[in-house]
């Protein structure tokens, strides 16, 4: 009797359900708790909630949290009812989600562990299959997305992240540190999916969209948002990346030419040129002096990059435009083809750069999310398909309410 009362409390079983027996198998290391509904209970259809006549019963089993290091299973003869609208259906039980072989409390434990470890690691720890743990994650994400409250986002960031090598990407839309939407590829239709999910008032509420200069994202935003050309912002992080790549191309070409002359001016200097001066120590900045003040082509490319980075402090569109046009005039005459190529790109997209400056919009949050997505990939050692990749992003970065409702009681 005490065992039944104990498990009645542990499992949170309430009327009309009750624990009727507890079987302990020390040899198998298992405890089976038998639960049944009181005779004569009239159950409801799980879909419409109508009280329906009983039809029959089906035996079901669920894995629960271990008891005293013993694997604990809950077993019940679950009634089926005959609903005039939905036919013969299995009733809901209060301790587990429909379609799950685990109690809500067990799923909550797995969800908490999955926040800290990979599916494979959690599966090994709990002695369950990879697919069982993955199923709990998929249900958690589905549950979380269904619960998500729609609140208008004023500032969003759009970025792509690699699913695997070979230019295979997903598009990620975020709001600060939260992922709002994940779509396959980085086509216009990828971003269209997000905009199509918004109401007209939600689209109108968007004040800025930070992105790189990818034509597909620009096209999708122009098609979806009113006055899009005043909201699209080409942020500082992507411009810095383009210019950093240009500096590195100049360095590689110049290093090759200098080595042919027997000179080692640029040996082991790659990361010196790419490092943000704001992150340099005083000693590093001092050591860098001879290089940055030299007559090297790389030093000129670096100076152009740093000047461009200083142009983001304007508050007036007029002065910001004048500053960038002066920079463009210098850049197109610098005789450094990688820098000139980036300058032509910046000139064609200057309107969006000016938007980013005046709106104080940047993709810092999206870049942070991109870094965290890379950590998720490393921890999981890759993903089998994009659906699981998307769900992992939502699970860890979607800000979702993932736990089963029964686990919150």
Average confidence (pLDDT) per 10 residues, the chain, 409 residues: 78 87 89 90 90 91 90 92 93 90 94 94 93 95 93 91 84 92 94 95 94 95 96 92 96 95 92 90 91 94 95 92 96 95 96 94 83 89 87 95 85
Q: For residue 225, what are the CA distances in angstroms to 78, 233, 351, 367?
A: 51, 13, 17, 23
Q: 107 lies in which domain range?
A: 2-145
Burial of 306 (0-12, 13-18, 19+ CB in 10 A): middle
What CATH number does the domain containing 159 carry?
Answer: 3.30.420
Is 368 a domain residue?
A: no
Cβ atoms of residues 251 and 258 within 8 Å: no
Is residue 329, in this structure, part of any structural domain at all?
yes
Q: Is 364 among the domain residues?
A: no
The pLDDT value recorded for residue 152 is: 86
Which of 145, 173, 199 is a domain's end point?
A: 145
Q: Are 248 and 296 within one domain? A: yes
Where is the domain boundary, 119, 145, 171?
Answer: 145
pLDDT score for 8: 85
Phi, psi at 406, each rounded to 5°: -65, -20
Is 44 inside a domain boundary?
yes
Please state the separation of Cα 185 from the chain's center in Å: 15
Cβ–Cβ contacts within 10 Å for residue 362, how many?
A: 21
Choosing from 145, 172, 205, the residue where a domain stops is 145
Alpha carbon dihedral 375, 378, 383, 388, in 10-degree steps, equals -30
Distance CA 152, CA 155 (A): 9
Identify which of 193, 96, 125, 122 has the alpha carbon closest to the alpha carbon of residue 395. Answer: 122
Is there a single domain that holds both residue 17 and residue 96? yes
Both 106 and 132 in a single domain? yes
Q: Which class for 246: exposed (0-12), middle (13-18), buried (19 or more C-beta within 10 A)? A: buried
Helix H or strand E segment including 145: helix 130-147
Query: Does 367 map to a domain?
Result: no
Q: How confident is the model at residue 409, as a pLDDT?
A: 63
């Amino acid at each position: 009797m005490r065992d039944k009362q104990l498990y009645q409390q542990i499992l949170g079983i309430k009327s009309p359900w009750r624990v009727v027996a507890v079987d302990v198998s020390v040899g198998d290391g298992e405890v089976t708790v038998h639960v049944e509904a009181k005779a004569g209970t009239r159950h409801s259809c799980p879909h419409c909630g109508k009280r329906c006549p009983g039809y029959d019963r089906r035996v079901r089993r669920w894995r629960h949290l271990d008891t005293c290091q013993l694997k604990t299973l809950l077993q019940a003869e679950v009634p089926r009812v005959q609903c005039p609208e939905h036919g013969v259906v299995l009733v809901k039980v209060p301790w587990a989600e429909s379609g799950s072989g685990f109690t809500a409390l067990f799923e909550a434990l797995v969800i908490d562990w999955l926040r800290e470890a990979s599916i494979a690691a959690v599966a090994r720890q709990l002695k369950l299959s990879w697919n069982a743990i993955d199923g709990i994650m998929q249900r958690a994400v589905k549950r979380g997305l269904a619960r998500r409250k729609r609140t208008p986002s004023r500032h969003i960031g759009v970025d792509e992240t690699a699913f695997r090598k070979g230019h295979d990407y997903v598009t990620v839309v975020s709001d600060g540190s939260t992922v709002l939407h994940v779509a396959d590829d980085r086509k216009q239709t990828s971003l269209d999916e997000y905009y199509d999910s918004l109401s007209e008032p939600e689209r109108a509420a968007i004040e800025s969209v930070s992105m790189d200069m990818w034509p597909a994202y620009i096209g999708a935003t122009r098609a979806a948002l009113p006055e899009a050309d005043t909201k699209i912002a080409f942020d500082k992080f992507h411009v810095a990346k383009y210019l950093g790549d240009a500096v590195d191309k100049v360095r590689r070409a110049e290093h090759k030419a200098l080595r042919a002359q027997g000179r080692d001016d640029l040996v082991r200097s790659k990361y010196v040129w790419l490092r943000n001066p704001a992150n340099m120590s005083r000693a590093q900045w001092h050591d860098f002096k001879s290089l940055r003040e030299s007559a090297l082509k790389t030093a000129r490319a670096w100076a152009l990059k740093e000047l461009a980075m200083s142009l983001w402090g304007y508050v007036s569109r007029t002065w910001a435009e004048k500053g960038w046009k002066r920079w463009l005039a210098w850049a197109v005459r610098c005789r450094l083809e990688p820098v000139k190529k980036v300058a032509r790109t910046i000139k064609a997209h200057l309107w969006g750069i000016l938007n980013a400056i005046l709106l104080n919009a940047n993709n810092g949050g999206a870049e942070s999310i991109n870094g965290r997505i890379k950590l998720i990939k490393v921890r999981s050692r890759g993903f089998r398909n994009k659906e699981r990749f998307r769900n992992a992003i939502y699970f860890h970065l979607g800000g979702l309410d993932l736990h089963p409702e029964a686990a919150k009681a």
